[in-house]
Amino acid sequence: MKIVLDSSILLSIFSRDTLYESSKSLLIKYHNQQFIINSFIFLEVRMFFSSDDELLRKLQKLDVEYEKNYIPNSSFIIPKWRTYLKNKQYFCPVCGRETTPICSHCNSDLRFRQRILSDFFIADFAFQNGGQLLTHDRGFFRNYFSEITILE
């Protein structure tokens, strides 16, 4: 089975941030599966490395396959992106509950884009490759992409 690794998992592993242990446990739990990423994930992680080759070596150590030939399915992505933009809802990336971002200083609503289009390409890539995604942004992906399985 193929599992798409979201950049949130890889960045935690490479930076050893507060989610490192959780990310490490998830990689160990699913170590018998084939981990894959696409160009969007590669680029999100690449900015923290000095070269493509350095990142490719790190991915190889983790047995992560970089699939460069991903072709986005606009029929899957665009309706979901439109729904996201239309709803303008804010969801906690951990629990998935809807929330309203408010400035702690002046109590004004904060209206910013929480997501970028690359998240929709990542979900599409997971959908095209068996529907399995390993991410720390479980709430967001569950809210917008019921077609894929978010692994825990």
The pLDDT assigned to 74 comes to: 96
The pLDDT assigned to 34 comes to: 98
CATH 3.40.50.1010 given to domain 2-151: yes
The pLDDT assigned to 46 comes to: 97
83-87 own/partner pairs: CB under 8 Å, 24+ apart: 83/144, 84/115, 84/120, 84/144
The pLDDT assigned to 115 comes to: 63
Give the Cα separation of 146 and 12 in Å (integer): 25
| pTM of the complete model | 0.83
- Could you give the 3-state DSSP secondary structure of residue 64? strand
- The dihedral formed by the CA atoms of 21, 27, 31 and 36, expressed in degrees to the nearest 10: -160
Residue 48's pLDDT band (boundaries 50, 70, 90)?
A: very high
Going by DSSP bridges, is the β-strand pair 2-5/90-91 parallel, antiparallel, or unpaired? unpaired
Residue 49's pLDDT band (boundaries 50, 70, 90)?
A: very high
pLDDT (tens digit, 9 = 90+) per residue, 106-117? 877 665 545 688
Mean per-residue pLDDT, 35-61: 97
Q: Which residue has the higher pLDDT, 19 or 86?
A: 19
| Model confidence at 136: pLDDT above 90 | yes
The pLDDT assigned to 105 comes to: 78
Burial of 33 (0-12, 13-18, 19+ CB in 10 A): middle
Burial of 35 (0-12, 13-18, 19+ CB in 10 A): buried
The pLDDT assigned to 111 comes to: 57
